[in-house]
């Protein structure tokens, strides 16, 4: 396996090589598959999983099945369309719960909370975060790092960076202690992404001017550099698309358009399918600034179809707001008014979601403080 060195990967490789018990070695191999999936090395992760299936499917054990399901869930989450991430992760959680494997239950619950956050399923997110934080031992760095990152992302999404920062730091400390470069990368990337999202929303709603672009761009570039250093590829499309959004906010439409054209097609394979409508709306806006009116119309019509069928309010509100601008500039007043009306309702839903997010996470934080 000729992959760039990652501290956790190096340790797992050493543990597999040194383990005299074949079953325990295969448990570490399943953990390695999960980590490879998080780094975006799907081929290598699938090779490990195929070996584990050959060895254990005939005589399955609950612990091995749970670890395999967790790894397959992460393989799906990080972009393999043949996997069903949520179902696999739920299975990992159910198996570990039934078998009393509390630390694996904590880890799978933390990842379920991540998936719930992306779907804005706040009741499920709350349930899984409480479970992860309650069950995880102090040295279960993987579960603590992911649960803390979900907490940070939620607060940050709701524009409460003051509440998010302690959780970002908690996630970072656990990840560094574990040698988990993939989580450090995710923390850097998600923080930059949410900062950019909040800047964009402020610009679109007129509550701000989309400032701090240079700082956000520097953060995105730091993520890219860190991934190159540690061998991660899971954000290969995500980081350039983050750059594109920042460049658009800075009025650098030519450069933003080039990134959108190159990386939108591959975004579905990296778990960004729900954002295709928003990306295409942005691409249409960039095309208009470059006097590409016919191409912009094609992008806008495709974006409108996608926004009608996919995404949550936090994805669809800015998408419709951007399309209102596009259709207005194209001279299509009817479509512009329809998109603007849809955006108004979705912004209201987004505001209500943010308030609920903060109250939900504050309750969890209070419980977590009581536990520790």
Given a contact cutoff of 8 angstroms between Cβ atoms, the answer to whether 276 and 309 are in contact is no
Please check whether residue 372 lies inside any domain of the structure.
Answer: no
Q: In this predicted structure, what is the pLDDT of residue 309?
A: 80
Q: In this predicted structure, what is the pLDDT of residue 267?
A: 76
Q: In this predicted structure, what is the pLDDT of residue 79?
A: 78
Please check whether residue 150 lies inside any domain of the structure.
Answer: no
Q: In this predicted structure, what is the pLDDT of residue 72?
A: 97
- The pair of structure tokens assigned to 49 is 């999983």
For 279-296, letters b (16+ CB in 10 Å) and e give bbbbbbbbbbbeebeebb
Please check whether residue 72 lies inside any domain of the structure.
Answer: yes
Q: In this predicted structure, what is the pLDDT of residue 33?
A: 97
Please check whether residue 248 lies inside any domain of the structure.
Answer: yes
Of 214, 241, 261, which one is at a domain's C-terminal end?
261
Q: In this predicted structure, what is the pLDDT of residue 210?
A: 47
Q: In this predicted structure, what is the pLDDT of residue 3?
A: 47
Please check whether residue 20 lies inside any domain of the structure.
Answer: yes
Q: Where are the alpha helices (DSSP H) in the chain?
A: 7-18, 22-39, 42-56, 62-77, 85-98, 102-119, 122-135, 141-157, 161-178, 181-205, 213-230, 238-249, 253-263, 276-289, 293-309, 313-330, 333-371
Region class of 291: left (phi > 0), else alpha (psi between -120 and 50), else beta: left
HSE-CB at 140 with a 13 A cutoff on CA atoms is: 21
Please check whether residue 107 lies inside any domain of the structure.
Answer: no
Of 79, 100, 121, which one is at a domain's C-terminal end?
100
Q: In this predicted structure, what is the pLDDT of residue 207?
A: 76
Token pair 């209102």: residue = 324
Please check whether residue 325 lies inside any domain of the structure.
Answer: no
Counting as low any pLDDT under 70, the low residues of the chain are 1-5, 80-83, 208-237, 268-271, 370-372
Please check whether residue 161 lies inside any domain of the structure.
Answer: no
Of 100, 116, 134, which one is at a domain's C-terminal end?
100
Number of separate domains in the chain = 2
Domain carrying residue 241: 181-261
């Amino acid at each position: 396996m000729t992959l760039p060195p990652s501290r956790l990967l190096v340790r797992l490789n050493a543990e597999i090589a040194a383990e005299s018990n074949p079953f325990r070695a295969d448990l570490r191999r399943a953990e390695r598959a999960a980590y490879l999936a998080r780094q975006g090395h799907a081929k290598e992760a699938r090779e490990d999983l195929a070996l584990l299936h050959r060895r254990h499917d005939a005589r399955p054990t609950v612990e091995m099945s749970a670890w395999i399901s967790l790894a397959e869930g992460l393989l799906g989450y990080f972009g393999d369309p043949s996997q069903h991430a949520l179902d696999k992760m739920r299975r990992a959680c159910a198996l570990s719960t039934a078998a009393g494997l509390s630390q694996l239950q904590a880890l799978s619950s933390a990842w379920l909370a991540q998936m719930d956050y992306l779907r804005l399923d706040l009741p499920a997110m709350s349930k899984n975060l409480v479970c992860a934080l309650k069950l995880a031992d102090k040295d279960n760095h993987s579960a603590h790092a992911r649960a803390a990152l979900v907490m940070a992302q939620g607060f940050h999404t709701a524009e409460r960076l003051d509440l998010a920062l302690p959780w970002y730091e908690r996630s970072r400390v656990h990840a560094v202690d574990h040698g988990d470069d993939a989580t450090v990368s995710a923390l850097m990337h998600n923080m930059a992404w949410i900062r950019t999202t909040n800047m964009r929303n402020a610009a679109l709603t007129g509550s701000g001017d989309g400032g701090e672009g240079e700082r956000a761009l520097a953060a995105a570039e730091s993520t890219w550099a860190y991934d190159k250093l540690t061998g991660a590829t899971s954000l290969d499309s995500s980081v350039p698309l983050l750059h594109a959004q920042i460049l658009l906010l800075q009025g650098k439409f030519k450069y933003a358009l080039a990134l959108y054209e190159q990386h939108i097609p591959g975004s579905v394979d990296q778990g960004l399918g729900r954002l295709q409508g928003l990306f295409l709306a942005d691409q249409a806006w960039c095309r208009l600034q470059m006097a590409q009116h016919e191409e912009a119309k094609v992008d806008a019509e495709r974006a409108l179809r996608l926004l009608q069928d996919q995404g949550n309010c936090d994805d669809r509100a800015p998408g419709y707001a951007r399309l209102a601008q596009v259709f207005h500039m194209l001279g299509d007043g009817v479509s512009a008014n329809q998109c603007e009306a849809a955006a108004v309702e979705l912004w209201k839903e987004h505001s209500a979601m943010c308030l609920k997010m903060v109250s939900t996470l504050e309750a969890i934080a209070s419980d977590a403080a009581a536990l520790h």
